[in-house]
Structure 1
Amino acid sequence: MTTTTRDSIRHVALSTARLPLSVPISDAKVFTGRQKPMTEVVFLFAEITTEQGFEGVGFSYSKRAGGPAQYAHAKEIGEGLLGEDPNDIARIGTKLVWAGASVGRSGVATQAIAAIDLALHDLKAKRAGLPLAKLLGAHRDSVRTYNTSGGFLNASIEEVKDRASQSIEEGIGGIKIKVGLPDSAEDLRRVAAVRDHIGPDVPLMVDANQQWDRATALRMGRRLEEFDLTWIEEPLDAYDVEGHADLARSLDTPIATGEMLASVAEHERLIDNRACDIIQPDCPRVGGVTQFQRLLALADQAGLDLAPHFAMEIHLHLAATYPREPWVEHFDWLDPLFNERLETKDGRMIVPDRPGLGVTLSDQARAWTTDSVEFGVR
């Protein structure tokens, strides 16, 4: 019997939603006066349906300004998906890049395409009846996980300690806290308090959110060595490749960075210059699964470890495909957007057996939608 795999996209729905945070969130960028506390996250959702009835959903996001711009760009290029074979993801991506070529191949344009690329990968995995990790080729069925959402600087040290205990009880393996305050002594006090609270055997990470200069980063890095940290994250400006490379050579503690970069090309500079020990790409920021896989191949060839940024619903699947043992960042902020939950056990996050990304948009996500557009026929 002969069957055909040819299908075509008949309907595209794009929407933007604002997820409010329960309390205003502050990292070091707020305390250095560069940003205001974060009160919401803005999402771009792409939902794609084919003639054969397959459906896929993907998303991008912005934690600060930029969410409306992502949605605006997606609206401009979205109609070009109609009639395309959804299996030809790379070719579609190239078409969308050229549709918006005048605004470049990084930043907002890349992040708008990422939501579509993710939806196409979700659809393809559902067609195969496989979790996305299995479709791409998994090395493992669970990934080490660490919590970040409990370690922000707006929380008192007692609150941070309580959240750390809760995370460990919930099966999360590591704890990350924010540093980078103008008062470095206070940073050290907070790190010492958390290390004492969780004990010497629980992995502990710190994140300075780009707020140190080179001299401060080296001095703090040396002071932090005593706490046996798993890594120091974003000690310098995200584009200071030379400075990160110097730190990576000078300190015993591994250096992690990459989340703020918005293309594979920008990450290539980090990799080529050995500017980190642990690379932290963000799939929605670099253009989706297609681009993320390109980046993983380069990182693996360079011998780097992996700890993707945010969006665990996506990055769990992608981290599971990395040959080296990775980490996934646990954030509970996105829980209201989806009907499903990810499982953590014994310090690891379990790859779900549901097809695709394994998430469906909740009624609350629909209620938070502020604008939407559709192309084609449902």
Structure 2
Amino acid sequence: MTTPTTPDHITWARVSSCYLPLANPISDAKVLTGRQKPMTEIAMLFVEIQTASGHQGLGFSYSKRAGGPAQFAHAREIAPAVLGEDPNDIAKLWDKLCWAGASVGRSGVSTQAIGAFDVALWDLKAKRAGLSLAKLLGAQRDSVRCYNTSGGFLHTPLEQLRVNASASIAQGIGGIKLKVGQPDCALDIRRVAAMREHLGDAVPIMVDANQQWDRPTAQRMCRTLEAFNLVWIEEPLDAYDHEGHAALATQFDTPIATGEMLTSAGEHWDLIRHRAADYLMPDAPRVGGITPFLKVAALAEHAGVMLAPHFAMELHVHLAAAYKTEPWVEHFEWLEPLFNERITIHNGRMQVPTRTGLGVSLSEQARAWTREVAEVGVPVN
């Protein structure tokens, strides 16, 4: 007769608020239209979880420009809900954390705070299995197509755009994304034309208007940009204008990409059912972690929609590797100082890490940039 073993359980969690400074203030169309100020830092929310058996997991979420303190405050409040729970029960824990803060809703800041816990639980589960997150989920491929965004912001002069793009291609990155959406559309067209001439016809180019066009402007710009053989036109309209995006996706050959600003699986379903995106761009931290991201991916696959997760390549390289059709992953080197490990880029593709879990650990620099910490439970020595 065998004696039943006691399930492992969570004994400790640490929530940290870390602010990543950017070397140069970042401007996109939202700045040039007066809706936002240049971005100077990124607020990172880290969650570290440990079990009685000594298993550990690391997760994160983030906020740009505003919202970091709110994410940290919500995460600190709900953290006690994970203590004593079996870390295998990830979906159950997501629901428990959601109900712990149900009065503030099931999207936005609340789910973004939950997302850091959810990612930490998946990281722990993959580590315990001795697998990378991609392998745990069922990888379709060992590398994914990648494109660079950080070199193409609107504050960057045209000549520097050319330098940045050439450097990205030399680094092994497969495509280049340019920001558009300036008040003077002629400037956007000139920059796209100059980049296409500089890179030639073979290099994939994407553009991103960051929701700054109205419907008539989007119609005219999409028609003009057809000539440049773009991979996609991103967020030509307000993120919640699903009907407008659907009309553009139907009318033009160039694919429409959107979804990064949505903060729940339900919001993505509304976008998908309107056929408003050729490329869906879910952001796992924004939708509440890996658990809801997988729901979004399943809906997208069923609808035959292509996938291009937004930002946070350290996480999304794993999730994209598990998607059925070939995705794109956005290369942003901004988060690299936060981690001790690096992702390899080669021949236009991002190599999926083979280290267990996410394959990243927090750097000493991340600890140095941490402003607030809250702990619950007792860590295992």
Q: Do the structures match in fold with TM over 0.5?
A: yes
- In 1: Cα distance, 2:158 partner to 2:262 partner: 30
Whole-angstrom distance in 1 between the partners of 2:346 and 2:72:
36
Aligned mates of 1:358, 1:163 — CA distance in 2: 28
1:333 is matched with 334
Using structure 1 for the length normalisation, give the TM-score. Answer: 0.99
Partner of 2:306: 305
Q: Are 2:167 and 1:193 equivalent residues in the alignment?
A: no
Residue in 2 aligned with 1:283? 284
Aligned to 2:354: 353
Distance in 1 between residues matched to 2:349 and 2:54, nearest whole Å = 35
Q: Helix, strand or coil: the match of 1:30?
A: helix
Counterpart in 2 of 1:343?
344
| 2:248 alignment partner in structure 1 | 247
In 2: Cα distance, 1:273 partner to 1:360 partner: 40
- Cα distance between partner residues in 2 of 1:230 and 1:25: 24
Q: Does 1:40 align with 2:34?
A: no
1:6: how far off?
1.9
Q: What residue in structure 2 maps to residue 267 of structure 1?
A: 268
Q: Which residue in 1 is equivalent to 2:296?
A: 295
Counterpart-to-counterpart distance in 2, 1:214 and 1:179? 15
Q: CA deviation at 1:227?
A: 0.4
Q: Evaluate the alpha carbon distance shift between residue 150 and residue 87 of structure 1 in structure 2; reply closer, same or farther with a 3 A threshold.
A: same
Q: Deviations over 1:258-280 (max 9, x none)?
A: 00000011111110010110000
Partner of 1:238: 239
Q: Deviations over 1:270-307 (max 9, x none)?
A: 10010110000000000100000001000000000000
Distance 2:347 2:78 in 1: 44
Q: How many residues are paired up? A: 378
Q: Percent identical across equivalent pairs?
A: 67
Q: CA deviation at 1:4?
A: 4.7
Deviations 1:109-168 (CA, angstroms, capped at 9, x unpaired): 000000000000000000001000000111001000000000000110111111111111
Report the equivalent of 1:152. 153
Give the aligned partner of residue 76 of structure 2: 75
Cα distance between partner residues in 1 of 2:277 and 2:294: 19
Displacement of 1:80 after TM fit?
Answer: 1.1
Q: State the one-letter code of the partner of 2:93.
A: I
Look up the equivalent residue of 2:34 and give its one-letter code. Answer: G
Q: Which residue of 1 aligns with 2:102?
A: 101
Structure 1: tracts of 5 or more residues without a match:
none
Distance 2:352 2:51 in 1: 26
Give the aligned residue type for 1:199: G
Provide the C-alpha distance between the structure 1 equivalents of 2:293 and 2:277, rounded to a whole number of angstroms. Answer: 17
Q: Give SS of 2:334's match.
A: coil
The residue matched to 2:120 in structure 1 has which SS? Answer: helix
**Amino acid corresponding to residue 151 of structure 1 in structure 2:** G
Shift in Å, 1:3: 8.2
The amino acid that maps onto 2:199 is: I
What is the rounded CA distance, in whole Å, between the counterparts of 1:28 and 1:202 in structure 2? 24
Query: Please, what is the CA RMSD of the aligned residues?
Result: 1.0
Q: Aligned partner of 1:206: which letter?
A: V
Q: Tell me the CA shift for residue 2 of structure 1.
A: 8.1
Q: Name the counterpart of 2:323.
A: 322
1:362 Cα deviation after fit: 0.2
Cα drift, residue 64 of structure 1: 1.6
Matches within 5 A, 1:150-229: 150-229=151-230
Change (3 A) 1:344 1:4: farther
Could you tell me which runs of 5 or more consecutive residues in structure 2 were left unpaired when the two chains were aligned: none
Aligned to 1:111: 112
Amino acid at match of 1:295: V
- Tell me the distance in 2 between the aligned counterparts of 1:135 and 1:210: 35
Query: Could you say if the C-alpha distance between residues 5 and 297 of structure 1 is closer, same or farther in structure 2, counting changes exceeding 3 Å?
Result: farther
TM-score (norm 2): 0.98
The amino acid across from 2:146 in the alignment is: T
CA shift in 2, pair 1:161/1:28, >3 Å: same
**Structure 1 residues 191 and 88: alpha-carbon distance in aligned structure 2, compared to 1, 3 A threshold:** same
Separation (CA, whole Å) in 1 of partners of 2:250 and 2:113: 36
SS across alignment from 2:14:
strand
Q: Are 1:368 and 2:369 counterparts? A: yes
Q: Deviations over 1:313-363 (max 9, x none)?
A: 000000000001000000010010000000000100000110000000000
Q: Which runs of 4+ in 1 moved over 6 A?
A: none
CA distance in 2, matches of 1:305, 1:2: 49
Q: Counterpart of 2:317 in structure 1: which amino acid?
A: L
Shift of 1:5: 7.9
For residues 248 and 3 of structure 1, what CA distance do their matches in structure 2 show?
A: 56
C-alpha separation in 1, matches of 2:271 and 2:253: 18
